[in-house]
Structure 1
Amino acid sequence: MNYRRLGETGLMVSEIGFGAEWMPGDDQEMVSELVGFAMEKGVNIVDCWMADPAVRKALGTAGVCSHRDKWIVQGHFGATWQNGQYTRTREMDAVIPAWEELLSCFGGHIELGLIHFVDSLAEFDGIMAGPFIEYVRAEKGAGRIDHIGISTHNPEVALRAAETPDIEMIMFSINPAFDMLPASEELDDLFKEEYQPSLENMDPQRKRLYALCEENGVGITVMKPFAGGRLFSAEKSPFGVAMTPVQAVHYCLTRPAVASVLAGFRDIDECAGCLAYETADDTAKNYASILANAPQHAYFGNCIYCGHCQPCTAGIDIATVNKYSDLAQMQDEVPASVRDHYLALEVRAGDCTGCGACEANCPFGVPIAQRMAGTAALFGA
């Protein structure tokens, strides 16, 4: 495993990191097996934005705590679990207990404390002028975190953060598709433009972001490097050609200031597929031919199962419902196994009230209420 310095934090992080969002809270054996495998291969950074206490506990129990000196943990301020659902909030009466619970899962100390999911400049400015940042600073002062960071999908927010003294690192969504798209504070305006004709013409805001982070010593860790797996399918990718995990990882690691790609492993095979990057030759890493003639962007309006749409006022696990819907529509007929999994959900698409609260939280402009109606019709519930 190769290691890179994360900006000016002084931390040396593995090029391939562990984005643990796919980990369940009810299968400790599986989580422990995967954490052990990743650690054996040299992975030393793990992101835990997930708010579910069971998932957090499973990760800590899996070996992160028992080998605490071998792991650098990214924990998130503002990702909370309310009424059985993930809820992103800035309300301190919810932020504080969720953070304290997260700390307890990782031995009372977290290396990287991230301000969770900030995608508008107004929200960023509000956070940096109020009690939220004061609490985060106090946690750093008390030694419960070592460094302050932020997670965002918006390059304009990331640019503002890179020029803010408190912020030492940024978790940013990077992949070959997103990099050719314009920045916007309005989430519904993201990803509407056509791709630029070549890699050299990446969106100037993003190009400036990477250069500024490099210049200012602000390290970047990468989320969504595979766009929810869509880049691996010729049919689903906007490029019309399937990329490999090695190509996608190499793209991310060739951006200035990027230190680690936090891939979402679901099992050992997927983890090994990403770790293959460490022994791949230049031919295997080459992605230029795939990006040479990129067509119009295909991600706007498409769910990549990130979960930021939560909470649902009706209690629907939107990402899971969308996943089952997409799986069902890949076949001529709905597979019985997919139908059974969907029907086993306690709350299904048919329970959607169409209130639109979820759509305001979605970074990708997904018409969620419309999707719920279509899914209910597809499965009959």
Structure 2
Amino acid sequence: MEYRTIGRTGIKASVIGLGSEGIARISAEETEQVIGFAIDRGINILDCCMPGLEVQNHINRALRGKREKVLIQGHLGSSATDGQYDVNRDIGVCKKNFEALLKGLGTDYIDFGMFFFVDTDKDFSLCFEDELLRYVLDLKEKGVIRAIGASCHNSEIASRIAGTGIVDLIMFSVNPVFDMTPVNSDIYELLNDAKLKEKFHLEIEPGRARFYQLCEQRQVSITVMKTLLAGKLLSPEFSPLGRAMSVSQCIHYALTRPAVASVLLGSKSEDEIKDALRYFDKSEIDLDYSEFIKDFKASSKGGCLYCNHCQPCPQGIDIAAVTRYTDIAALNEKNIPPTVQQHYGSLTKHGSDCISCKNCEQKCPFNIPVAANMKRAADLFGF
């Protein structure tokens, strides 16, 4: 298992984690089996947004004697009606539901207290400019939550959240289809459209690209939901890409976005967890997702996709890493964050090592001017 640090917390999460959608549909015995199997294999982060005492009790039972081995994302700002969760910002309801969550899970703390479903300007105001924020800050001061996060599906709002300085973590929908969806479009409506491809961007949606870069610049981590697009990306019949990706390719796409710390999959069985963990045994060829995006005619206007299809570099440059840190530094060239400078400096080879042979450009599916990007990196960082 590999681990990545969440924001500025120092807390390390496994790069593959568990969502709760799958767990919500199985028995107490199966939940105990699935969570125990995951923990034994190094998975240490679990999202718990599903409502209802029954599901929480199932997780409680599974975590007995193992609570300290698991990082829990628990949500604030929601309510449950007939087993279905919904947005609710009423402070009294929020307090009642959060206390019920602690009791249901059998714990006295939550690792990441997540503002639930912050997708609109109104949601942002109610969560970050009102009494709900004071309540959450008080919980953190008392140690009832260790860090603050939020869940979001809108890149513009997510960027505002990242800019508050309050959160260390944002749970966000990440997959290639979402990344190429035009801003303010209804992705689920598009998925049912026969002329789907005609309505997608010819590039990664710029707002989403900026969001990823801003998070890494601000040291705000991303945990990923919708990695498999509810399984559609695995189906040649239903995938918007026209053919099926593998689970490992979906995971790899998410993990190569800037700031992503963990991919939370709604696994409901040991076999599904095993399938996810095969990611670590795959070759670079097996993990390559560039051909799927190329089918959408993604262009260089959208920037490097960090897919490493351009490798190997004869100079040994990690082109994707150099480009990623350069893109982040370019957000504020006059005040590059020290962490970004440190990450770039820790690379074994840098932009200045490029000899402009352009072998990489011949292999790039997206016509990225790699040599020019390497010069840009050298100019920005000084080497």
TM superposition score category, shorter chain reference: 0.7 to 0.9
Superposed structure 1 runs of 4+ greater than 4 Å apart: 185-193
Distance in structure 1 (CA, Å) of the matches to 2:26 and 2:233: 29
Matched, 1:184 2:189: no
Partner of 1:94: 93
Q: Label 1:280 to 1:252 Cα distance change in 2 as closer, same or farther (>3 A).
A: same
- Which of the pair has more CA radius of gyration? 2
- Which runs of structure 2 are paired with 1:206-245 in the superposition (5 Å)? 206-245=208-247
What amino acid is aligned across from residue 119 of structure 1 in structure 2?
A: D
- For 1:227, what is the secondary structure of its paired residue? coil
| Stretch moving more, 236-245 or 24-33 | 24-33
- 1:293 to 2:295 alignment: yes
Identity among equivalent pairs (%): 38
Match of 1:59 in 2: 59
The unaligned stretches of length 5 or more in structure 2 are: 299-383
Q: CA deviation at 1:183?
A: 2.7
> Matches of residues 108-187 of structure 1 in structure 2 within 5 Å?
108-184=108-184
Query: What secondary structure is seen at the aligned counterpart in 1 of 2:231?
Result: helix
**Matches of 2:188 and 2:66, distance apart in 1:** 43
Deviation of 1:48 after TM superposition, in Å, equals: 0.2
For 2:141, give the aligned amino acid: G
The one-letter amino acid of 1:15's match is V
Alignment partner for residue 285 of structure 2, among 271, 283, 286?
Answer: 283
Letter in 1 for 2:239: S
The count of corresponding residues between Structure 1 and Structure 2 is 292
1:194 to 199, 204, 210: 199
| Distance of 1:265 and 1:75 partners within structure 2 | 18
Aligned equivalent of 2:252: 250
* Partner Cα separation in structure 2 for residue 284 and residue 256 of structure 1: 21
Question: In structure 1, how many angstroms separate the alpha carbons of the residues matched to 2:47 and 2:245?
Answer: 24
CA contact 1:251–1:287 (8 Å) conserved in 2? yes
User: CA separation in 1, counterparts of 2:231 and 2:256?
Assistant: 20
TM-aligned CA deviation for residue 293 of structure 1: 1.3
User: Aligned partners of 2:46 and 2:213: how far apart in 1?
Assistant: 25
SS in 2 for 1:276: helix
Give the drift of 1:153: 0.4
Question: Does the C-alpha gap of structure 1 residues 229 and 25 become closer, same or farther in structure 2, counting only changes over 3 Å?
Answer: closer
Which TM-score applies when normalising by structure 2? 0.72
Structure 1 residue runs without a partner (length 5+): 297-381
Q: How does 1:305-320 map to 2 (within 5 A)?
A: none
**1-structure distance, mates of 2:100, 2:205:** 39
User: Does the aligned pair in 2 maintain the 1:112–1:149 contact within 8 Å?
Assistant: yes
Return the offset for 1:93. 2.0
Once the two structures are superposed, what CA deviation does each residue of 1:61-104 show, in whole Å capped at 9, x if it has no partner?
112x4211111110000232235542321112211111011112
Output one character per residue of 1:118-153: Cα deviation in whole Å (capped at 9) or x when no partner: 111232023211111111111111110011100010
CA distance in 1, matches of 2:199, 2:108: 46
Summarize the Cα distance change of 1:128–1:4 in structure 2 as closer, same or farther, 3 Å threshold: same
**Separation (CA, whole Å) in 1 of partners of 2:292 and 2:186:** 29
Moved more, 279-288 or 28-37: 279-288
Match of 1:260 among 244, 259, 262: 262
Q: Label 1:235 to 1:186 Cα distance change in 2 as closer, same or farther (>3 A).
A: closer
Structure 2 partner of 1:79? 78
Alpha-carbon offset, residue 188 of structure 1: 9.1
